Structures are given as structure tokens and as C-alpha cells.
Amino acid sequence: MAEQLRLMAVHAHPDDESSKGAATLARYVDEGVDVLVVSCTGGERGDVLNPKLQGDPEVERDLPELRRKEMANAAAALGVRHHWLGFVDSGLPEGDPLPPLPEGCFALQPLEVASAPLVRLVREFRPHVITTYNELGGYPHPDHIMTHKVSVEAFESAGDPTRYPDSGEPWTPLKLYYDVGFSYGRMMAFHEALLAQGKESPFAEWLKARDEGNRPPDRKITTQVNIVGWMERRDQALRSHATQIDPDGWFFAIPNDVQAEVWPTDDFELARSLVESELPEDDLFAGIRDRAKV
């Protein structure tokens, strides 16, 4: 009898799970995989980014609690389990020079302090695969960079009984992936699809900045998971984060039927693997399925 496969997706804030690889999560849930989303922080220092809700006193009265409710709705839309790691949002520093990060925030925690609860959770949930961000955080938010650090630390330490000895029985995950959701190729494909329809593209400035060297070069895409049939679940999860996502914004600029035609996958970079699989892959569990036996 095959053991149930388990996938852990580690994110910085509520809403990140819905904007990065969400359709893949929904697909694996439907295929019987046990999927757990981890939010390292509660997004407490986030702003109301949906212009339709800005200035609404009911929304701004207790934004952290509202974001917890949004996260619950998004998890329900995707069908995933969810866990708050319990750290406080660091905020995105702005200005020149940049102000110091707030005392006690996630990004200022010592690595072993920030990693210990994730190591414990890995040992409890026992994922075969973990997904997270690359060393640049996907984009340079301090919480995203810290999420990368704790995810790598947990991946490398959870199976070692000498590390974090008070954090449960050791478990060794088999593969670690970085999300590659905003690649140049994908954005260009969407941009050209919109122009071909005579529509304005919201990706022009992003592509221009990339061409001018103001954005980091693309990561290597090793794994593409087909998400045709699961895009609407992703969109439902995105809309659940109403304070963060404008329903008329760029996330929804490309109709799903066009996405299915021009770029039908979620994309990932295989960063660590303890199993053999042939690249490129179309499955995060490539090389694992035959091993998952009881």
C-alpha cells in the first residue's frame, strides 16, 4: 500500500500561498496529497493594497485579524491545511537610507530561534517535499529572505537527531523547491498574448525593468506542473485575500483560457534532492512516488 504523499509550502505572509504556486497545491490536494501551507508571519505590518477597501474603517480597525480570516478562506478554497508559525511581520522598509527593522520582528530573529518551530513542524507533518523561495526571497522583502533561510535550515536539519534535539523525532524531507512564478518567459508570454488581443499589458514596466538590468536574471526552471483545471481555485484563493488583492488588478489580467494556452504550468527550481529524477520534471514528487511505500 502506498504511503500518502505530503507537501509543505512555506511562505512569509498570508496571501503569498495564493499568488505563488497555489494551483499546484490545489491539484495535489485533488490527487490525494496531504498539503500543508505554513505562514511564517501574520502579515501584521501589511497595508490595505486593494484600492476598493482603502480608507474603510471596518477594514483598517483590526487588519491582522481580518487577514487571519482571509487566510482561512483561502486555505478552504485550495483544500489545504494551514499552520501559523507565529512570528511577527517585519514590514517592508522604505526610504533612503532604509529605516531599521522593528524590534522583535521575524527577519531579526536568530536563525535557530526562527527555524526551531519549523523544524518541529517538519518532524510532525513529515513532508516528502517542501517548497519555498530562493535566497533572494523571490523579491527582496526581509521576511521572504528569512523564509528562505529557515526553510533551508529546516530541510537540512530536521533529519539530524543532533540538531534541535527537543523538537521531535527526526524526519528527512526528500526534495526542496523554489517557486519561479514570475519568470521573464512567463511574463513575456502573457504580455504578448494581451497585445495580440489589442489589450493593454500590465507587464510592460516589469519587462522593461528586467531588460534594463533592474531585476535579477531568471532562475533555472527544472519543474513545470500543469495547472489547467486548477486556475479557478487559485483565483478563488487570491480573491479571499480581499485586503491584499485587487479583483480588477494585474493578477487577473490574463483570462484563464489564455493562460492555459500560452503558459499552462506553475514553475519551480529543484534546489535540493535526496532522490534521483530526470530533469526537466512535470511532478514535484518525481523520484519519490515509488519510494513512498509502507
DSSP letter for 288, please.
T
Rounded to an integer, what distance in angstroms lies between the CA atom of residue 186 and that of residue 266?
A: 10
* pTM for this model (two decimals): 0.96
Pick the CATH number of 6-181+219-254+264-273 from 3.90.180.10, 3.40.50.10320, 1.20.140.10, 3.40.50.10860: 3.40.50.10320
Rounded to an integer, what distance in angstroms lies between the CA atom of residue 206 and that of residue 82?
A: 32
149 has pLDDT over 60: yes
Interval 19-65: pLDDT, tens: 999 999 999 999 999 999 999 999 999 889 999 999 988 888 999 99
Q: Sorting pLDDT into bands at 50, 70 and 90, what band is 7?
A: very high
294 has pLDDT over 60: no
Percent of the chain with pLDDT over 70: 99
Contact 120, 85 (CB under 8 A): no
pLDDT on residue 293: 53
Higher per-residue pLDDT: 209 or 169: 169
272 has pLDDT over 80: yes
Q: Sorting pLDDT into bands at 50, 70 and 90, what band is 173?
A: very high
Output the nine-digit C-alpha cell for 64: 491582522
Rounded to an integer, what distance in angstroms lies between the CA atom of residue 204 and that of residue 192?
A: 10
pLDDT on residue 25: 98
The phi, psi pair for 187, rounded to 5°, reads -65, -40
Q: Where are the domains of the chain?
A: 6-181+219-254+264-273, 184-218
Contact 26, 7 (CB under 8 A): no
